[in-house]
Amino acid sequence: MTDPKIPVTEDELHAFVDDELPTERRADVEAWLAAHPDDAERVRSWRSMADLLHARYDAVAEEPVPQRLELERLTRQSQSRSWIYGAIAAALVAFIAGGSVGWLAHGASASSPSFRTFALDALDAHRTYVVEVRHPVEVAGNERAHLQQWLSKRVGYAIKAPDLDSSGLKLVGGRLLPGPDAPAAFFMYETASGERFTLYTSRAKTDTTSMRYASQDKDGAMFWADKGVGYVVSGTSDKERLNTVARAIYDQTDKVGG
């Protein structure tokens, strides 16, 4: 056993969840979790998330890749991940609807790697946190001013949580997430009936002021980017409802980031 007084790191917690922690360190981590309930709760949340991802994607990862979905050459070392990544990217491309909300397409193609990575990360974050009951956000919506100040400092540009009262949505709160190229701000909203929508925004390497639509299973997303900042609004696969929420956010884009 190693010295139990050595603090447990974030990497060790992830390794513990993934069953990759060295045997001699497991007892120390277990003792740490017993004495630190917040970390124990995070570990339980990560395991729950991992179980959901395995349940959703493990069967898909074993399937042969259809030719029509092979957007990039797969390698043996990353076949499972690349198949999942390629399938979602293909779904995004298949559901592009640039003219559906009256905006003209400008900038990069929706099939570009930066688009796929950005939208994929946003959808992953949406699916991960909308199911959370106790800890869906890091900072609650009743601390809006603090939330905006904190996220603005971390993402590197002024950002405000959009006001979606007119769409029947109340700000639940937000959190900081890693993005493809820079930290990302993540806001969650909820209706009185419990329906949730999320906004994911971060620096983006592409500009496309058109609104792009994608859907997968029961989830839908609208994506656009402007002045080097990308936005993904995720929620119901009901495109009309999602479009209403996305347009309300789009109209406040200059107040959200830039």
**Is position 126 within any domain?**
yes
The residue-averaged pLDDT of 13-37 equals: 85
- 208-251: per-residue pLDDT in tens? 667 777 777 788 888 888 888 889 999 988 888 998 999 999 88
**Is position 109 within any domain?**
yes
Calculate the CA 189 to chain-centre distance: 14
Shared domain check, 115 and 78: no
Q: Which of 55-69, 88-102, 167-181 has the lowest mean pLDDT?
A: 88-102
Shared domain check, 212 and 106: yes
Shared domain check, 120 and 24: no
User: pTM score > 0.85 for this model?
Assistant: no
Total length of the chain: 258
Counted domains in the chain? 3
23 pLDDT higher than 70: yes
Which one has a higher pLDDT value, 63 or 180?
A: 180
Shared domain check, 169 and 80: no
pLDDT value of position 211: 76
3 pLDDT higher than 60: no
pLDDT value of position 172: 95
The residue-averaged pLDDT of 184-201 equals: 94
Shared domain check, 180 and 155: yes
139 pLDDT higher than 90: yes
Shared domain check, 88 and 50: no
187 pLDDT higher than 90: yes
pLDDT value of position 51: 65
| pLDDT range class, residue 18, cuts 50, 70, 90 | confident
CA dihedral 193, 223, 142, 137 (to 10 degrees): 80
**Is position 44 within any domain?**
yes
- 102-112: per-residue pLDDT in tens? 332 333 344 44
Shared domain check, 135 and 148: yes
pLDDT value of position 49: 65
**Is position 145 within any domain?**
yes
pLDDT value of position 62: 56
Shared domain check, 188 and 121: yes
| 3-class DSSP string for the chain | CCCCCCCCCHHHHHHHHCCCCCHHHHHHHHHHHHHCHHHHHHHHHHHHHHHHHHHHHHHHHCCCCCHHHCCCCCCHHHHHHHHHHHHHHHHHHHCCCCCCCCCCCCCCCCCCHHHHHHHHHHHHHHHHHCCCCCCCCCEEHHHHHHHHHHHHHHHCCCCCCCCCHHHCCEEEEEEEEECCCCEEEEEEEECCCCCEEEEEEEECCCCEEEEEEEEECCEEEEEEEECCEEEEEEEECCHHHHHHHHHHHHCCHHHHCC
**Is position 73 within any domain?**
yes
Which one has a higher pLDDT value, 182 or 51?
A: 182
The residue-averaged pLDDT of 150-170 equals: 92
Shared domain check, 193 and 134: yes
Averaged pLDDT of the chain: 75
**Is position 114 within any domain?**
yes
Q: How far apart are CA 36 and CA 26, in angstroms?
A: 15
Domain of 70 in residue numbering reads as: 64-94
What pairs with residue 140 in β-bridges?
A: 173
